[in-house]
A and B are shown apart, each in its own frame.
Chain A
Amino acid sequence: MINKLAIFGNGATKSATWHWLMQRITAVILIPLSFQLIVFLNLCMTAPFQQTVAWLKSPLNTICIEVWLLAVFYHSAIGLQVVIEDYVANQELQVKLIKVINLSFLFLAVAALFFIFRIM
């Protein structure tokens, strides 16, 4: 039981397994939602303001875009962590970079959600 709970802790190997799994879970979530994102991006490129807002306000679209945001920022942060771990040899710098990435992605995700709530 303790071992199972430990995946939420800071144990290096446990959190690596957890990251590996979450990378896959978020990937599967992102496959269908990416198509929803592209519809939204296309609206932003071409449609008038009211139409884009109306599309985003529809409950299913709101949920899809918000889940996409949460999943994509998590997926991206884990992915960048792996890239940093592979190419930044300096251990101290590596840890700092990962922290900076995690914090700024958390900030960006919260900001994006905040902007969406303001549109609603």
Chain B
Amino acid sequence: MTAKHSRPTSPHLQVYKLPLTGIISISHRITGVLLSAGLLLVVMLFYALSQGEGTYAAMQSTVNFWLVKLIYWGFIYALFFHLCHGVRHLFWDVGDGFEPDKLNKYAKIELAAAFTLTLATWIFI
């Protein structure tokens, strides 16, 4: 028992402060799952379109509620974040960018790129 107590324990997620790269890694998963749930909403969108003008108008008045709009832009940011980190996964797949300083640098670039793309979407589209 005493020997067991003196052994180092693995970093439990509740007490272990994740580095930026760790936060981004789990965020990639979380956004992936959330975006999958968002697919349901996209299918509903196609349903509304197929039902004609009345259903489409009803759908539009719902999505123009501020809370729904906020969720919509949350989804857009999640999509861009998932896309940017996904691109980095593709770089990792070819064996590039594993050095610690590069990992942290690219983590910040990803977050900024996702934010910039969301902002650009908001301004230009």
Where the two chains meet, the residues of A that have a C-beta atom closer than 8 Å to any C-beta of B are 24, 27-28, 30-31, 34, 38-39, 41-42, 44-45, 49, 52-53, 56, 72-73, 76, 79-80, 83, 105, 108, 111-112, 115-116, 118-119
Nearest 6 A/B pairs, CB to CB: A115-B46, A115-B50, A118-B50, A76-B36, A49-B53, A49-B56
A40 to chain B, nearest CB (A): 9
Do A83 and B49 touch across chains, with their CB atoms under 8 A apart? no
Q: Which residues of A contact B42 (CB under 8 A)?
A: 41, 112
Chain B 25-55 residues near chain A, CB threshold 8 A: 29, 32-33, 35-36, 39-40, 42-43, 45-47, 49-50, 52-53
The number of chain B residues with a CB under 8 A from chain A is 34
Where the two chains meet, the residues of B that have a C-beta atom closer than 8 Å to any C-beta of A are 29, 32-33, 35-36, 39-40, 42-43, 45-47, 49-50, 52-53, 56-57, 59-60, 63-64, 69, 72, 76, 79, 83, 86-87, 89-90, 93, 121, 125
In the complex formed, the residue of A with least CB distance to B53 is A49
Q: Which residues of A contact B59 (CB under 8 A)?
A: 44
Q: Contact partner of B36 among A34, A80, A116, CB < 8 A? A: A80
Q: Which residues of A contact B40 (CB under 8 A)?
A: 108
The majority secondary structure among interface residues of chain A is helix
List the count of A-B residue pairs having beta carbons below 8 Å apart: 78
Do B32 and A79 touch across chains, with their CB atoms under 8 A apart? yes
A6 to chain B, nearest CB (A): 23
B43 to chain A, nearest CB (A): 5
Q: Which residues of B contact A112 (CB under 8 A)?
A: 42-43, 46
Q: Contact partner of A80 among B33, B49, B57, CB < 8 A? A: B33
Q: Which residues of B contact A53 (CB under 8 A)?
A: 49
B76 to chain A, nearest CB (A): 7
Do A27 and B90 touch across chains, with their CB atoms under 8 A apart? yes
